[in-house]
Structure 1
Amino acid sequence: MRPNMIKNAHDLILDMEKNFSDINNKSENKGKVFQDFLDEVFKDSHLDAKTKALIGVALSVQKQCKWCITYSVNLALKNGATKEEIHEAGWVAVALGGFSAYTYMQILAKSLNDLTK
């Protein structure tokens, strides 16, 4: 997947929000239950929210999920992570995941570029 083939990160996030809302409405609010779970997991506790979001970035690159990468980059930025911290989290995934994870760094880079404009 070439970086210019990836939808603008802002648009991807808006699409996810709309689609999740539609799915939730058709699924007796099961999506809300999941979102409540995510909110609970990602709040400050033994690990702060920024650290958890950076873990999410690394796992998203490792899992090779463009939606997850964009969501996690956005969450990390909202929780005060710097571009450098986000890149470094991505490189942790590459260190463990090899070339296939490396190819998803282009999505991380594009998401960062789009979301920090």
Structure 2
Amino acid sequence: MSTFDHAGLIHNINENLAPFRKAQPDAMRGFAQLAQASMAEGAISAKHKELIALAIGVSQHCSGCIGFHVKALLKLGATRAELEEMLAVSVYMGGGPSLMYAAEALKAWDTMAEGHAA
């Protein structure tokens, strides 16, 4: 089974981007505003938007995206069943490479859910 550490990856990404945030505050503020506006509750719930974002992360083979969006989904009360159905669609649309990242997303969910305990 994968020993990939998504919580550590999230920490490292945030730490490594800190100098970039200082060097490019306007760009990073713009990105943060885009993320906040895109993920806000609307006609589509924030949880469903996070499921979409994670599906894109899986299909684009983005481990960082998997970590950040699994963490958000846990906070939003998503269920493992919802995760698994979304991953099935991701694999359908993305084939074998998406299946590899679906396994990574499942492991991230299991590992991060242990520390999340609602």
TM over 0.5, shorter chain: yes
Residue 37 (structure 1) aligns with: 34
User: What is the DSSP-based 3-state SS (H/G/I as helix, E as strand, rest coil) of the residue aligned with 1:23?
Assistant: helix
Identical-pair percentage: 25
Deviation at 1:22, TM superposition (A): 2.3
2:32 maps to a residue whose letter is Q
Amino acid at match of 1:66: S
The root-mean-square deviation of aligned C-alpha atoms, in Å, is 1.5
Counterpart of 1:18, as a letter, is E
Unaligned runs of 5+ in 1: none
Find 1:11's aligned residue among 4, 8, 13: 8
The CA distance in 2 between the partners of 1:30 and 1:87, in whole Å, is 34
| Distance in 1 separating the partners of 2:13 and 2:26 | 16
Q: Which residue of 2 aligns with 1:46?
A: 43
1:72-111 paired onto structure 2 within 5 Å? 72-111=69-108
For residues 58 and 20 of structure 2, the distance between their equivalents in structure 1, rounded to whole angstroms, comes to 25
Contact map agreement 2:6 2:63 (CA 8 A) in 1: no
User: Which ranges of structure 2 fall in alignment gaps of 5 or more residues?
Assistant: none
Aligned partners of 2:17 and 2:88: how far apart in 1? 29
Deviation (angstroms), 1:68 = 0.9
Deviation at 1:45, TM superposition (A): 0.8
